Amino acid sequence: MDGELNLTYITLYGYVEMGNYRYLIFINMFIVYVLSVSFNIIILYLIWIHQNLHEPMYIFIAALLLNSVVTSTTVYPKLLIDILSEKQVITFSACVLQCFIYYSVSASDFLLLAAMAYDRYVSICKPLQYTTIMTKNMVSIILGVAWVLPACQIAVSMIMSANKKLCNFTLKAIFCNNSYYNLFCVATLAQSIVDMVTLFSVAVLPILFILFTYTRILIISYRSGRNVRKKAAQTCSPHLIILISFSSLCLYDVLIIRLDAESYLHFIMTLQAFLYYPLFNPVVYGLKVKEIYKHLKKLICPAKMI
Structure confidence by residue, pLDDT tens digits, 137-192: 999 999 999 999 999 999 998 888 877 888 888 887 778 877 778 788 877 788 88
Give the whole-angstrom CA distance, residue 303 versus residue 301. 6
| Contact call for residues 290 and 234 (beta carbons, < 8 A) | yes
Give the whole-angstrom CA distance, residue 72 versus residue 187. 29
For 33, 41, 143, 144, the CA distances from 70, given in Å and listed in that order, are 12, 11, 16, 16
Q: Read off the pTM.
A: 0.87
Rg (CA), the chain: 21
Per-residue pLDDT of the chain (306 residues; tens, 9 = 90+): 444 444 688 888 766 666 677 888 888 889 888 988 999 999 999 999 998 889 999 999 999 999 989 988 988 898 888 888 888 888 888 888 998 998 999 899 999 999 999 998 898 888 889 999 999 999 999 999 999 999 999 999 888 887 788 888 888 777 887 777 878 887 778 888 888 898 899 889 999 999 899 888 888 877 777 776 777 777 777 878 888 878 877 777 666 655 555 555 566 666 666 666 777 788 888 777 778 888 888 888 775 555
Spatial CA neighbour of 90 closest among 186, 16, 174: 174
| Contact call for residues 291 and 62 (beta carbons, < 8 A) | no
Name 84's Cβ contacts closer than 8 Å, sequence gap at least 6.
22, 23, 26
- Residue 171, helix vs strand vs coil: strand
Label residue 306 exposed, middle or buried (CB < 10 Å: 0-12, 13-18, 19+): exposed
| Contact call for residues 12 and 171 (beta carbons, < 8 A) | yes
Residue 91 φ then ψ, to 5°: -70, 150
- Residue 232, helix vs strand vs coil: helix
Q: What are the E-state strand segments in the chain?
A: 9-12, 89-91, 170-171
